[in-house]
Structure 1
Amino acid sequence: MKHTYHIHGMSCTGCQNHVREALESVAGVRGVTVDLDAGVAEVEMDSHIDIGEFREALAGSRYSIHLPGEKPGTAGREASTGTGSNRDSGNGTYYCPMQCEGDKTYDAPGDCPVCGMDLVEQPGSASRQASGYTCPMHPEIRQDTPGSCPICGMELVPVEPEASAEEKVYQRLLRKFWVALGFTLPIFLIAMSEMVPGNPIYNWMDRKYWNWLQMVLSIPVVFYATWMFFTRAYRSVRYWNLNMFTLIGIGAGIAWLFSVFGLLFPGFFPEQFKTDSGEVHVYFEAATVILTLVLLGQVLEARAHRKTNSAVRELLKLAPGKAVRVRDGKEEEIPVEEIEIGDILRVKPGEKIPVDGTLTKGETTVDESMITGEPIPVDKSAGDSLRSGTLNGNRSFLMEAEKIGSDTLLSQIIRLVNEASRSRAPIQNVADRVSAYFVPAVVVIAVITFVVWAIWGPEPAYVYGLVNGIAVLIIACPCALGLATPMSVMVGVGKGAQNGVLIREAAALETLARVDTLIVDKTGTLTEGRPSVEGVEGVPDGVPGEKVLELVASLNQQSEHPLARAMVAHAEQKGVPIQEPEQFESVTGKGVTGMVGKQSLALGNASLMEERGAGIPAVLEEKAREYQDQGKTVSFLSADGEVIGLVALGDRIKDETRTALDQLRQGGMAVHMLTGDNERTARAVAAELGIAEFRAGMLPEDKLSEVERLKRDGKVVAMAGDGINDAPALAKADVGIAMGTGTDVAIESAGVTLVDGDLSGIVKARKLSKKVMRNIRENLFFALVYNTIGVPVAAGVLFPFFGILLSPMIAAAAMSFSSVSVIANALRLRAARIN
């Protein structure tokens, strides 16, 4: 039989394993499955087992088990609530920078339950920061416009935005560091005075009293400034998530406790541990210096973390706080949050565009470089689309709001960047596998080091063994390994966003560097996706062209396809009357059908005509071939089963397409074109662009099959498209690349989105991918080589040959700066050129 129970208190995979093992230890249990996300455990048992036995198995842990509908216990998520009352509350979402649990997030600041590092606040949405004006003397006074305080008359000042949780963590760590440094320096000077000939401070009082003073000075360092390290170390051992703080806690803790014990019970120790005057050697300076240096490393990491998210923070700054709304001919300034869809807004020269929409009156140039990465301003006139956060030129214009809040492009970019920054690249599995065995291995090496020195080392052998064992524990840094990949991914994703390349997941960024085959759609990918009607033909002595256009436009009124919109717009421009269609239906990859008046119409390619049993007259076939040889797309119109005309549409090839394809081919990438258009049109476009491999008349399932075939042949395939019919192939490809100008379905199916919708973005994305992967490999190399060399040196392998030993204090400095060096190397990506 199987029973399902709710488990409270789990926060990580380590918790999941502990709960499973505890429940499996109960007699009569045959198997246990624990779902971390759902917080439930399914227990298979030979016969019914009372829940009390399971509670007894979990007794002493932070986990509680209860039946469905029963009130949970009091155990909570430690990671979500922090490790102490000194935690600063935040308003955002928090995640572990080492991605120990993938993209898992927390709703409050704290320590990662796996690695112990401070959780990092994820930048928010494009909602603006605190705005308005307040009185410096009376902060309760708040208003949206400048003025004077009604209480004291002072001029109001802008409201300062609240510091981010990330900034608060940095400031808190910095304060603790100065406290630690203030108490550690005297300890260090007292200990180092032994190196001064005659040691004058011993004339003031005996060594024993100086040792007691060192202990007193060390208490604020250990129990206030760096106590969090010991808390994390304890939790890592308790829940068996061993990490860098395990090593720090053991190493520094042994040094401090040994010293205290030596002060209190000097007679317990053999002579090897004592000075000439009979006092036990104390290591308060080693413990406090180690802890202070590690704290310095944490401060530097916190400072560097602010820079890794700088790209997103710069995007957040693009969101304006105010907008000018025009109603009944009057202008009023309102907060951006009050804008509604359909509002008419005035954007003045030099102002940021507040939301996504369409320019309705006026002309201007818009600087879109902050989103697309292209430095040349774009000319805009009535009917052109506008994007939130972009910068207006030197002319005023009116626009209609179409997307607001989280629906704007800027908000979507920020959301995608945040999600991608938390995603895991497959290469990170290498570091994870190494880290899983790293800490236990280092502890074993430290024990072996002590034993070897104690048996074969020179006198005082035990002292040498203790000091070198501590050095081994301190110098090892699994943190550098864990940070190697996520830091590069975070900075790289932000760099891409600033250049109009949105990476949806880190796996796509990694795979893109290995892509050798690119499949492209034609319409909207190679071409602008803004087709225009080039010709309308009716059957001679039959329905005239004007009537064909009327029927075509009427049928297409309910279609959102670019070709359909072009036909409707052409009819409206010609002043052709348009009727309301009935029974409208879209046939994916073929065309549309419906009723106009009493006629049953079908508009689409030859396959749709064949499906409807409508034969194409020879004269129209000949006319269609002429258009198709010029690269035009032809749609046939049938009425009541008889083809009565055709419409020819042209779609201009994007200016950047030829150059981008040449660059991709020079980089060793094979380019294939798959299109739903006919053979002649496809051949004409392929010839113009130099594409040797192309296929025409492709339905969505055909594109999907072609992707699967190429993958079976061992190709690493990227698919670029913009339509609903491209979505299956985009999802199946090793990397799906969506045009930002395309449909939402295509964008949701792709791992990469090109904001500007042209193939030059693929060139940028590929360069970015290669630079990020090289940066990750550099980080992994630095971290692995550092530990490979550092641990043996700390153990004393150079002593027999060169007399070199590594002080635990130097080891602590090296360990702290190893993580900082990895972050600093990742930050170099901010200056990488991908254009």
Structure 2
Amino acid sequence: MIHTYNITGMTCDGCRAKVEKSLHTIEGIKAKVSLNPPTATITMEKHISIEKLQEALSAAGKYTIEMSKVEVIEYSETNKATEKSCCSTPSHHHKKESTLPSNAQAKYYCPMHCEGEKVYDKAGDCPVCGMDLVKASELTVSKTQYTCPMHPEVIQEDPGSCPICGMDLVAMEPSESEDQKTYTDLVKKMKIAVVFTVPIFIIAMIDMAHNNPLLQLMDSAKWNWVQLIFSLPVVFYACWIFFVRAWKSIITWNLNMFTLIGIGTGVSFLFSLVGMFFPDIFPSEFKTEHGTVLLYFEATTVILTLVLLGQLLEARAHSQTSGAIKELLKLAPTEATLVSEGSDKVISIHDIKKGDLLRVKPGDKIPVDGKITDGESSIDEAMITGEPIPVDKKKDDIIIAGTINGNKSFVMIAEKVGSETLLSQIVQMVNDASRSRAPIQKLADSIAKYFVPTVVIISLITFLIWANFGPEPALVYGFINAIAVLIIACPCALGLATPMSVMVGVGKGAQSGVLIKNAEALENMNKVNVLITDKTGTITEGKPSVEKIYSTNNSDTDLLQSIASLNQYSEHPLAQAVVNFAKSKSISLIEVKDFEAVAGKGVTGTVSNKKVALGNKKLMEQVKATVSEDLENKIIAEQKLGKTVSYIAVDGIAVGFVSILDAIKESSAAAIKELMRQGVEVIMLTGDNENTAKAVADELGLASYKAGCLPEDKLKEIKKLQAEGKIVAMAGDGINDAPALAQADIGIAMGTGTDVAIESAKITLVKGDLLGIVKAKNLSHAVMKNIKQNLFFAFFYNVLGVPIAAGVLYPFFGILLSPMIAALAMSFSSVSVIVNALRLKNLKL
């Protein structure tokens, strides 16, 4: 098999040769590397993971490897030299490190995504950055169990009565969530830390008074022993995890925030211990007027307690960032009413099967996706589409799981259950996207890599400068300021700046009916300056209806029967409109032979031994059908009214046409106007004819449009615009749009369209409305602004804080920063980033 990869980091032919040579060190592969473009074409005897390839490149230098956007896969077995494009569905697929794997549910990941999609089975801390691992959201509704209030040993899956006492079973309370457990554990440790830290702090502060009243009770040496004893629970229990993380970070050389905290507080604590037991080894400037060494137990414990407070606040704030997923999960009911053998039975949602008839009562949540089979009602779909006005639904209308029934009852048939429902797909997409990495995060990652070593070096330089050039006691000043530099620096604020905003932003989009596949799409949507849009189902309702059938010599009934029979095999909405029109006239469908759907043109087949073709003018040219001048004039007149007209040819002669009206969505004009106001060029590409396209474009105020576009024409137009340096978004809803959606920088699928289109797109609009693109654009702008605010805050905080801690203001203003104040500032820096990200929850889209 052959794969194409992108290589970054190569700057010359020497780099190219080095990369090629390093790849050849892996057994079983042959590599050909090019510098322009920077790609590697690798032939493998068997599958080799991208991680192993990266390992070989890392040994050679600072090179990275990733799958190419358009991958070529060749198999040497039965189908040699088979090429797959990004529009195809390759049978061998590499998943990017942008999202968690689908089996990551109930596992743990790092909120800074230090190791891409890697997850862990148990709670703990990240081996790279040291932060608490976060539990991935459960993507399915937990199965409710029932128990007897008098006999707790009775537990069953369904509601009912207790087999022992006959009492009604009650739903068991859900167990405490992992987020809550982490938070509860931190609260417990925080209480212990405060109880022991406050007395130490008081003792140290009173000791600075001129007439220390505590010395009347005991001498200063004994009070030092009290401070030591009180500090032990703080250091070795409540905050011991910080030292464990610091040690891990050093031995693995994944230096992070806890490296700095561990070094700073560890040095302070060890200095204090040595000062107590071996005071004679210290010079006089480290000693008090009583002859004892200046100890820093209060600094150690206060700093650790403040860092613990920051972790506590961060845990509380972080749980809110995944609130959108939790709210979406709450939409799914746990029970449904099954209609079986003339009676109703309450069952678990997990027991619903395709084809089951379910009764939905007033106020109930729709349990699964399906259709109404009996009755009608109004459905509140705001939680899925973001639209507050309830939608009237009648027999055969589609209804979505998680939406809420109005004040009428109806019966529905289950069509999609479990993970197939739109709600489940939304939750999965939101979960994946919220864990993905935006390109802008590479900046923070690059800086964080060198951040900690730089801070440690600055800390050492600070000590040396103060020790040699500072006022007396110079060593004390040097020691204190060096500790302050270590404590105030916060690489976590940099690391959290992007993922927190992405998580909240993606969740906000889902609640507004805008589903975003990954963070890259969220970032790039803000850069889009050209929107390519399809017409049918995108600008128009996508619910075409037949206006009239015109025939030159045959009866309208016979002609309608022929074209409806032909269209019964087509998935196109125009075809369905013809079939529905025939059914409304009680016309039966007959057998069709040699059916063929000609992409972008129409359909052909043999009906009643006659060759019938139904489609646009290009199809007529393809089947070499003769079109009379009178018929052509009649068709043009219909097209100028904005109607879609399909020619009908029988045995090579055009004998009539079908005129179809597909109303323009009320929101299309407003959406296009707003996008153009924001500087986005909107271009309509449609397979429809010039006259119909012009009528629609004129009504919408569109200056740019192209008619008669085949799927390959749309693809070429997008490539042309991209070659001009444009960032192109493509909005469509059909199978024919899938290649264009995949090629565009941002593919936008209408949620009302086909699964293929949705799979090819990076953004899906649940409501299938162009106003959703405006929402996506506004959301992208707000998220990117929020990320930049976070990054600025993190950069500015460290650029300003580290020099102040080092003492640059002392020569001018006499200001020094206490390590305890530095700890407080550091603790709140990460919390501030998360709180700023949470502001996106209140965004008006």
TM-score normalised by the chain length of structure 2: 0.86
Distance in 2 (alpha carbons) for counterparts of 1:777 and 1:666: 24
In the alignment, what sits opposite 1:658?
A: 669
Distance in 1 (alpha carbons) for counterparts of 2:788 and 2:317: 20
In the alignment, what sits opposite 1:688?
A: 699
In the alignment, what sits opposite 1:325?
A: 338
Q: Is the 8 A contact 1:557 1:580 kept in 2?
A: no
Q: 1:636, CA displacement in angstroms? A: 2.3
Q: Alpha-carbon deviations, 1:768-812, whole Å to 9, x = none?
A: 111111111111111111111111111111111222111111100
Matches within 5 A, 1:678-827: 678-827=689-838
Matches within 5 A, 1:406-421: 406-421=419-434
Q: Is the 8 A contact 1:635 1:647 kept in 2?
A: yes
In the alignment, what sits opposite 2:42?
A: none
Distance in 2 (alpha carbons) for counterparts of 1:154 and 1:536: 67
The question of 1:262 aligning with 2:296 is answered no
When residues 220 and 520 of structure 1 are mapped into structure 2, their CA distance, relative to the original with a 3 A threshold, is same
In the alignment, what sits opposite 1:468?
A: 481
Distance in 2 (alpha carbons) for counterparts of 1:313 and 1:177: 27
The question of 1:164 aligning with 2:177 is answered yes
When residues 185 and 738 of structure 1 are mapped into structure 2, their CA distance, relative to the original with a 3 A threshold, is same
Distance in 1 (alpha carbons) for counterparts of 2:56 and 2:368: 55
Specify the code of the residue in structure 2 equivalent to 1:579.
I
Q: 1:507, CA displacement in angstroms? A: 1.6
The question of 1:507 aligning with 2:535 is answered no
Percent of aligned pairs with the same amino acid: 59
Matches within 5 A, 1:129-278: 129-136=142-149, 138-143=151-156, 156-278=169-291
Greater mean deviation of Cα atoms: 662-671 or 588-597: 588-597
SS in structure 2 at match of 1:469: helix
The question of 1:555 aligning with 2:566 is answered yes
Q: 1:512, CA displacement in angstroms? A: 1.7
Matches within 5 A, 1:596-607: 596-607=607-618
In the alignment, what sits opposite 1:435?
A: 448
Distance in 1 (alpha carbons) for counterparts of 2:467 and 2:657: 94
* Structure 1 residue ranges (4+ consecutive) displaced by more than 6 angstroms after TM superposition: 32-36, 41-45, 145-148, 152-155
Distance in 1 (alpha carbons) for counterparts of 2:660 and 2:496: 53
The question of 1:533 aligning with 2:546 is answered yes
Distance in 1 (alpha carbons) for counterparts of 2:321 and 2:399: 29
Distance in 2 (alpha carbons) for counterparts of 1:385 and 1:30: 55
In the alignment, what sits opposite 1:78?
A: none
Distance in 2 (alpha carbons) for counterparts of 1:200 and 1:123: 55
Distance in 2 (alpha carbons) for counterparts of 1:121 and 1:742: 34
Q: Alpha-carbon deviations, 1:323-374, whole Å to 9, x = none?
A: 1111232211111111111111111001101111111221211111111111
The question of 1:94 aligning with 2:105 is answered no
Q: Is the 8 A contact 2:105 2:136 kept in 1?
A: no
Q: Is the 8 A contact 2:362 2:407 kept in 1?
A: yes
Q: Is the 8 A contact 2:109 2:134 kept in 1?
A: yes
Q: Is the 8 A contact 1:92 1:108 kept in 2?
A: no
In the alignment, what sits opposite 2:639?
A: 628
Q: 1:196, CA displacement in angstroms? A: 3.2
Q: 1:104, CA displacement in angstroms? A: 3.9
In the alignment, what sits opposite 1:609?
A: 620
Distance in 2 (alpha carbons) for counterparts of 1:459 and 1:823: 42
Q: 1:256, CA displacement in angstroms? A: 1.0
Distance in 2 (alpha carbons) for counterparts of 1:30 and 1:751: 35
Q: 1:226, CA displacement in angstroms? A: 1.6
Specify the code of the residue in structure 2 equivalent to 1:528.
E
Q: Is the 8 A contact 1:531 1:562 kept in 2?
A: yes
SS in structure 2 at match of 1:470: helix
Q: Is the 8 A contact 1:132 1:145 kept in 2?
A: yes
Matches within 5 A, 1:580-591: 580-591=591-602
Distance in 1 (alpha carbons) for counterparts of 2:393 and 2:54: 60
The question of 1:829 aligning with 2:834 is answered no
Q: Is the 8 A contact 2:158 2:348 kept in 1?
A: no
Q: 1:32, CA displacement in angstroms? A: 6.5
When residues 666 and 448 of structure 1 are mapped into structure 2, their CA distance, relative to the original with a 3 A threshold, is same
Q: 1:818, CA displacement in angstroms? A: 0.7
Q: Alpha-carbon deviations, 1:35-72, whole Å to 9, x = none?
A: 99666479999xxxxxxxxxxxxxxxxxxxxxxxxxxx
Q: Is the 8 A contact 2:530 2:727 kept in 1?
A: yes
When residues 488 and 40 of structure 1 are mapped into structure 2, their CA distance, relative to the original with a 3 A threshold, is closer
Distance in 2 (alpha carbons) for counterparts of 1:43 and 1:132: 48
In the alignment, what sits opposite 1:117?
A: 131
Q: 1:459, CA displacement in angstroms? A: 1.6
SS in structure 1 at match of 2:527: coil
The question of 1:565 aligning with 2:579 is answered no
Greater mean deviation of Cα atoms: 684-693 or 723-732: 723-732
Distance in 2 (alpha carbons) for counterparts of 1:459 and 1:44: 54
Greater mean deviation of Cα atoms: 179-188 or 134-143: 134-143
In the alignment, what sits opposite 2:365?
A: 352
- Structure 2 unaligned blocks of 5 or more: 1-17, 30-46, 58-103
Distance in 1 (alpha carbons) for counterparts of 2:24 and 2:505: 47
Q: Is the 8 A contact 2:368 2:402 kept in 1?
A: yes
Q: Is the 8 A contact 1:557 1:581 kept in 2?
A: no
Q: Alpha-carbon deviations, 1:154-180, whole Å to 9, x = none?
A: 775431112222222111222122222
Match of 1:517 among 530, 534, 557: 530
Match of 2:389 among 357, 376, 387: 376
Specify the code of the residue in structure 1 equivalent to 2:173.
E
Specify the code of the residue in structure 1 equivalent to 2:115.
E
Specify the code of the residue in structure 2 equivalent to 1:97.
P
Distance in 2 (alpha carbons) for counterparts of 1:564 and 1:201: 93
Q: 1:143, CA displacement in angstroms? A: 4.1
Q: 1:483, CA displacement in angstroms? A: 0.9
When residues 43 and 134 of structure 1 are mapped into structure 2, their CA distance, relative to the original with a 3 A threshold, is closer
Specify the code of the residue in structure 1 equivalent to 2:807.
G
- Structure 1 unaligned blocks of 5 or more: 1-23, 46-89
Q: Alpha-carbon deviations, 1:530-570, whole Å to 9, x = none?
A: 11111222232xx3221221111111222221111111111
Q: Is the 8 A contact 1:31 1:43 kept in 2?
A: no
Distance in 1 (alpha carbons) for counterparts of 2:523 and 2:215: 62
Q: Is the 8 A contact 2:105 2:138 kept in 1?
A: no
Distance in 2 (alpha carbons) for counterparts of 1:815 and 1:458: 27
Match of 1:280 among 286, 293, 299: 293
SS in structure 2 at match of 1:656: helix
TM-score normalised by the chain length of structure 1: 0.87
When residues 154 and 259 of structure 1 are mapped into structure 2, their CA distance, relative to the original with a 3 A threshold, is farther
Q: Is the 8 A contact 1:538 1:646 kept in 2?
A: yes
When residues 832 and 176 of structure 1 are mapped into structure 2, their CA distance, relative to the original with a 3 A threshold, is same
Q: Is the 8 A contact 1:637 1:643 kept in 2?
A: yes
Distance in 2 (alpha carbons) for counterparts of 1:725 and 1:42: 37
In the alignment, what sits opposite 2:33?
A: none
Q: Alpha-carbon deviations, 1:170-218, whole Å to 9, x = none?
A: 1122212222222222222222220233222223323222222322222
Q: 1:503, CA displacement in angstroms? A: 1.2
Q: Is the 8 A contact 2:23 2:53 kept in 1?
A: no
Distance in 2 (alpha carbons) for counterparts of 1:147 and 1:716: 59
Distance in 1 (alpha carbons) for counterparts of 2:205 and 2:257: 28
When residues 714 and 215 of structure 1 are mapped into structure 2, their CA distance, relative to the original with a 3 A threshold, is same
Distance in 2 (alpha carbons) for counterparts of 1:609 and 1:103: 52
In the alignment, what sits opposite 1:400?
A: 413
In the alignment, what sits opposite 2:307?
A: 294
